[in-house]
Structure 1
């Protein structure tokens, strides 16, 4: 440590002196003093504590960066899921439009049949009810999309009323490999890295505590400057009008710890316990990440299979509706058969779009655990 001090004093005194030989002296004196000093205390050895402290602070900075990285990865995963949820809802809106078009044609056919006496009015009324239900579902879907967009804007710091279009499809990486994801996950998952840093920080704290048992050696030095000006003196033979003192001194000092009530030993034990606790926390979190990765990959594999199945189902459901509609036009099927085919198509759309979104969520979760977002 390097410190500097300085002071300036002004004195005004009235002095009177009587001597044994009868002499008398009296004067009003004024003086000023200037003092300055520079002190240097340099620790040469403290049991290497200074180096452990420096490294611990560096590790704490690294821990903070990894903690921020963990929050960023989690936030990115949330934004991705929210964004593709909007895409999902838009796909459902598109499916509703398809169903509305089919219902409109169904209403027209039912109306024609009723007009020529080949159909019953309840069939026409039911077709109109189903059409209105789809239109109401469309209004609700548009409202939901607007709400989800505003929620996404809020979470990303954008203006709440900001309008934009999202993509029409949900891209999915179907080639993720468990071995690739699990390999070196302790080096890529920022949460695990941050927890491991706490072990490093705790170990360095142990080194700091152990260093307190060793002597501390310091280099000490000081430069002093002092100046006094006396305007007048009562006794000029012994009191100078001006004086100046300056000089440099230096040396070494050592502090040897002998006994402090076993406080250092207690602090070392506490630091060792912190290391053990952090290691247990790391092992627990590492196990949880591995379990989460395993479960997420199983879900990912299931969603891929479900997606393939639902893509096949949607083709079958579309063909079924087309056939039912043609049969209804020709009068060889009932309104009930066509309605059942429509409901099957609606369910197939819902399952397909849900499978796409769930597969994307599973993919995002795997990449989040890996730390690759």
Structure 2
């Protein structure tokens, strides 16, 4: 059993040494680089850009709504006639073998001169939709950057947890040495030695698990950057920088004019308002200018009498004005206008709801920010106390004035302090990121 345990420990230590060398050789991925890759590749951003490009393409042709519509048609047909006739006076006529062809063409122009200003409303709506697409891209970029920041610093805090575990393993190794020395000299029981080895092996298992967690976290970041999930051969920074000077008053003053989610919804209101104008235009008559040129040509290789032409050609040009006056269509226009107004009312309610949610999110995020800042400062102090307590406990154990239980309690306290401090630092960064996202200052 001892040989088996020793073999496991040796394998773990070899793996840790290999991992440390590999980490030292890995290229460090900075947060700025991760964000840059995500902005180029992120699926949600690419989808938002595609939608915006459709809106921009529609707007590029918006002014053609004022242009006339010109259509041309043409056709050609051939005929072959075989006719036999007998008359009452006994005469007969056979006109078999007569062939002919017909060519026709027409050119039609329709120019809407007035449609209740619907053309203008449509053009303005397409412009508003284009602006909506641009705002949607910016909003998605803000959200994606915030997610990348969270994913990147999640790897950093997992890496810090790994370092904390390595420190704990060093303490456990010292416990094993002291327990072994005491047991060898008869100053301590074998149970202390066995328990210290069990604790060390447990921490080695946690270390291996933490390595896996780091790889999984990198895969999640890769997904956000839209790169292969297996491409995890990179390292991240060691620290999490914090901005400890954010002010709620300044954030609240700027959030209404800066927040992209609010701007997106305001643009939705604008689009719906223009849709109402479009619907109202159907109450008015549509006045159009129309013109057409028609051409027709018939040819035949023979004629039955002197009055049947062998060749006939016509060209006719006509033009004029038409007015389509809506009189009654089952109140369909009234229904459409009411639907458009209801949609506008819905969008206004949605705007109020978005503003309320954003303000609530800002207040709650700032409360988290303030709490985690205080918790971070407190846990820094706690970590210093836990380290000092650990040193005292080890020294007391070395001198034989304390038990392994006291050392284990001190070690557990140090482990918990490390965990809480790392979590407090990471959560402070998440709260800071959320505040910057809500204020739309995250891309600055």
Deviations 1:94-153 (A, max 9, x none): 001101111111211222222223323332222222222221221221222222222333
Q: Secondary structure at the match of 2:201?
A: helix
1:104 maps to what in 2? Answer: 173
- The CA deviation at 1:306 is 0.9
Q: In terms of mean alpha carbon deviation, does 338-347 or 12-21 score higher?
A: 12-21
Matched with 2:222 is 153
Give the Cα separation in 1 of the matches to 2:434 and 2:366.
9
Deviation larger for 8-17 or 271-280: 8-17
Paired residues of 1:219 and 1:250 also in contact (CA < 8 A)? yes
Report deviation, 1:86.
1.8
TM-score normalized by the length of structure 2: 0.78
8 Å Cα contact 1:26-1:234 kept in structure 2: no
Shift of 1:49: 0.4
- Partner residue, 1:293: 362
Partner residue of 2:249 out of 179, 198, 204: 179
Task: Measure the CA separation in 1 of the matches of 2:198 and 2:89.
Answer: 134
Match of 2:76 in 1: 8
Which residue does 2:10 correspond to in 1? Answer: none
Q: Secondary structure at the match of 1:169?
A: coil
Partners of 1:44 and 1:217 within 8 A in 2: yes
> How far is 1:212 from its partner?
1.0
The number of aligned residues is 372
Q: Deviations over 1:252-272 (max 9, x none)?
A: 111222233333223222221
1:223 to 278, 286, 293: 293
Cα RMSD between the aligned structures?
2.3
**1:12-53: per-residue Cα shift (whole Å, max 9, x none)?**
113467789998654342111111011011101001001111
Where 2:329 maps in the other structure, the secondary structure is coil
Structure 1, residues 280-315: CA drift from partner, whole Å, max 9, x if none? Answer: 111011101101101101111111111111112212
CA distance in 2, matches of 1:188, 1:113: 67
Match of 1:54 in 2: 123
**Runs of 4+ displaced beyond 6 Å:** 17-24
Q: Partner of 2:272 in structure 1?
A: 202
Structure 2 stretches of 5 or more lacking a match? Answer: 1-68
Q: Is the 8 A contact 1:5 1:37 kept in 2?
A: yes
Normalised TM-score (structure 1): 0.92
Of 226-235 and 23-32, deviating more is: 23-32
Matched ranges for 1:120-131 at <5 A: 120-131=189-200
Query: Is 1:350 the counterpart of 2:419 in the alignment?
Result: yes
User: What does residue range 334-373 of structure 1 map to in structure 2 within 5 Å?
Assistant: 334-373=403-442
Change beyond 3 A, Cα 1:98–1:29? same
Structure 2 Cα separation of the partners of residues 18 and 109 of structure 1: 134
Between the aligned partners of 1:94 and 1:205, the Cα distance in structure 2 is 59
Do structure 1's residue 82 and structure 2's residue 82 form an aligned pair? no
Q: Secondary structure at the match of 1:271?
A: helix
- Aligned-pair distance for 1:56? 1.8
Q: Deviations over 1:48-69 (max 9, x none)?
A: 0011112223323333443444
